[in-house]
Chains A and B, each alone.
Chain A
């Protein structure tokens, strides 16, 4: 079968120790039997490794940080589209999603497809909104409160027992064993990610995750459960194994069917000793371990592209249990000319 030629722009090329999902998404798409994809990388930093991985990313353009505002981003996307004639954009960072969701109609009017959660879906699963989310959809959420100042934090901590989790608005989380530690982490996280900082009850148990893709109509197109086997000091999985846990998949179906989730998502869960599942976070995008799902038989990035293009997608019904991923690092050797070209022209 002739594969359909398509040009897809992808962010999250930061394949570093706390990796973005871009490269594994590219890998899934490049392995597609349906699409023959030209990949256009969209990068925020000149040293995002994916920019230089020419066997995967055909061309890369620098784009402005989300803090520059969505209009600046839109203008840059228009410039890139004029050169590349993009069919689809897949944003992969939490921090940029708000801008892309806000720009979705304008981007679509340019003829570029997207497949993003709605603003309501995106907002209601924010860490700070999770307790409400838990009540609304009947799922277990650890007690969480948001702190906007050191005073807030002091007051909130009075109703928590230690240890307690202190979490950044978008990323990063620390376990604090005392008010002093909590204050130090609060300062660190607010400086990096802004406010609010989330104070969350610490739940002891095993960290498990689900990657899923919702079709926006309540149907789960893909879902794979994973147990982290090796966790880095940044809390990222460096190794994991697919598991067969019906309760995790039932929870995923419950959430996607109730919220009619549109696009990729990751459920970060804790299973306690008495087998209760708590949702720690709902990430509104494809996670960096997506290639495990591909390796286990569900090419979620390919299904994502199909949904975005309005094609019929049959939901995956099973995946291989006991498939593992083990991440590794690899030094690329790159000529300084490539770097200088990117820095001076904004593209490579």
Chain B
């Protein structure tokens, strides 16, 4: 999986997909996850990083993370390699 290279993400979390014209807003955690995906981290590595930073149940995190990844894929922000 890789982050769609054509999307533009501003510092305040506004995402614009110039191909489809869709726009979204990300919260800080969303931006953090996208940044890690962009740097080439795997889902497992992202999970570990978030668990070490936040006081979270691993199963809850896993569920939220999968939902977020599914949203990214559905909106063409994350592409299968």
Contacts and interface: CB of A to CB of B under 8 A. Distances in A.
B24 to A, nearest CB: 13
Nearest to B21: A227
A322 interface: yes
B18 A322 contact: yes
Contacts of A62: none
Contacts of A321: 18
A244 interface: yes
A206 interface: yes
B18 A206 contact: no
Contacts of B21: 206, 208, 226-227, 229, 240-241, 243
B52 interface: no
B60 interface: no
B19 interface: yes
B16 A245 contact: no
Contacts, number: 25
A138 B10 CA distance: 40
A243 B19 contact: yes
Contacts of A271: 20
Contacts of A226: 21
Nearest to A248: B19
Interface in B22-62: 22-23
**Interface residues of B toward A: which range?**
under 10
B16 A244 contact: no
A207 to B, nearest CB: 10
Nearest to A275: B76
A243 B23 CA distance: 12
A159 B69 CA distance: 41
B19 A245 contact: yes
A278 to B, nearest CB: 16
**Interface residues of A toward B: which range?**
10 to 19
A332 to B, nearest CB: 32
- Interface centre among A206, A229, A243, by most chain B C-beta atoms within 10 angstroms, is A243
B6 A244 contact: yes
Interface in A221-245: 226-227, 229, 240-241, 243-245
- Interface centre among A206, A226, A322, by most chain B C-beta atoms within 10 angstroms, is A322
A227 B18 CA distance: 10
A313 B18 CA distance: 28
A321 B8 CA distance: 11
A14 to B, nearest CB: 27
A271 B16 CA distance: 18
Contacts of A243: 18-21
A123 to B, nearest CB: 32
Contacts of B23: 241
A154 B23 CA distance: 42
A271 B23 CA distance: 17
Contacts of B8: 322
Contact of B19 (A229, A240, A244): A244
Contacts of B20: 206, 227, 243, 245, 271
Nearest to A225: B21
- Interface centre among B18, B22, B23, by most chain A C-beta atoms within 10 angstroms, is B18
Nearest to B8: A322
Nearest to B16: A322
Given A240-B21, A245-B19, 20 more contacts: A206-B20, A206-B21, A208-B21, A226-B21, A227-B20, A227-B21, A227-B22, A229-B21, A241-B21, A241-B23, A243-B18, A243-B19, A243-B20, A243-B21, A244-B18, A244-B19, A271-B20, A321-B18, A322-B8, A322-B18
21 contacts: A206-B20, A206-B21, A208-B21, A226-B21, A227-B20, A227-B22, A229-B21, A240-B21, A241-B21, A241-B23, A243-B18, A243-B19, A243-B21, A244-B6, A244-B18, A244-B19, A245-B19, A245-B20, A271-B20, A321-B18, A322-B8
